[in-house]
Structure 1
C-alpha cells in the first residue's frame, strides 16, 4: 500500500509523516505545543525515519528527523529495529540530510558508534515528545485496562496470561478523537513489549498522557519507576492510586522531556 506524505503544521513547526499511526503521533505532538509558540526560525520534523522520505522534504527548512524504532534495550540487547534491512543506510541518509536526528531512546546510542564523527554532532537522544502541560487525570468508568497496538505472538500470549476480563484490545483502525474516546472509559493503557527486554515505547506513553490515563506495563527504562510512574501488569490500584501515579508520570515527562523545550534549545536563529 502506498504511504502518502502528510504535512501537519502549528505555528513555526511542520511535521511530515507517512503512516496513519505516525500521522496520529504528529497531531498529538503539535497539540502539546504551547499557545503562540515561537522559535528563532521555522522547523520541519521528519517523523519516523524508517519510512521512505524523499530528499525534497529536507530542502528549505531547518530539519529534525525523529527515529522512533527501538534498536537496543537498556542492557544492550539488539531488538527488531536493528534487524531492519538497510537500517544503517537509512540512519546515515537521514543524518546526512537532516540538521539534527532525535532518537527517542538513550539505549540506542551504541547503535550509532559507526557514524562518522561530524555526523555524530547531529545526534540527540531522549524522549523529547511530551507536552509542556499535561492533561488532567481522567477517571475510569470501567475496571479494565486497554491495549493499543499490533498483536505479535508475544503480546498475544502475555495478554492472555493476565487475569480474565481485565484488558480490552484495540488492535487497529481507530485514530485521533475516535481512539481517545475508546480509551476514556478504561482505567489505563496496558503496555506489552513487542520483544522481551527493558525499554520504553514512548509514543504509547504520549498516547496515555494525551488521554489522561496511567500506564500498566512490563519493566520500562530506568527513568520510569514501577509503582511511582507506572504500574506493573498485575497491579490492582484503587482510584486514588490511579490518579497519583498518572500525576507522577505526567510531572516527570512534561518537566524533563518537553517537545517545546527541546525545540527551543536546538533550533538556532536563521
Structure 2
C-alpha cells in the first residue's frame, strides 16, 4: 500500500494540483509530533475531467483501504495480513506512525501521515526502521529537542528521505541514479517547506540561514530553494551549520 500511495503522491506533484502541509510540533515534555497532510481535491477533479474512470485505478483502490480516522501502520498491515516483523522495537514504532484518508461525496480528497509524540529514542529507532521501509519524512524530525531548546542541524535542510522513497518506489527501483532522482524532485516539487511549531513561546534564536525565518511567536518556517539545494556552486548569503531556538 505504501508504494502505491507514494506513486500517487508523485503523480500529484507532477500535475502540480495538490496542496501539501507539513509541520512538526515540539511539546514541553521533549517529544514532538510530525504531520504531512496532502489535499488532492484538485487532482481528483482534473483526473475525472481527463479520464472519467480514473478513480477506479489501483492507486485509488489502495486509498480506499485507508481508514477515515488515524490508524497505525501496525494495525493497517496486520489487518491486511502483511505484518512481517516480530521485532518489538519495530512494532512499537509502527504503532506510533499513523495514516488516514479523507473523502467527500464518496470520492478521495486527501490522505495524511503522522508521527505521534515521538521522543529521541523513538527517532533513533525510526531511523533504523526507515532503512527498510522508505517513507517520505522530513529530515528535520531528527533535530535535537529537549523540551526547551531545539538545535537545528542545517545539514538536515535536504530532501534525502523523499529522494530515497522515490528511488525505492519508482519503477526503476534502487537502480534509479542520483541525477535522475534529483531531476524528478526539481520537476515535481515546485515548493517545499516545513513549519516548526512550539508549545511554548520562542525566547531567542541564534544562527541564520537563507531558507529559515520566524513567522510568529511560536513558529518558524523553512522554505527550500531547490536550485541552491542541487547546485553546489550556488552560494547562500547565510548558511550557519547550527540554528538554536530557545523557548520559554
> TM bucket by the smaller chain?
under 0.3
After TM superposition, the score normalised by the length of structure 2 is 0.24
After TM superposition, the score normalised by the length of structure 1 is 0.23
- More strand per residue: 1 or 2? 2
Between 1 and 2, higher relative CO (CA 8 Å, sep ≥ 6) is seen in 2
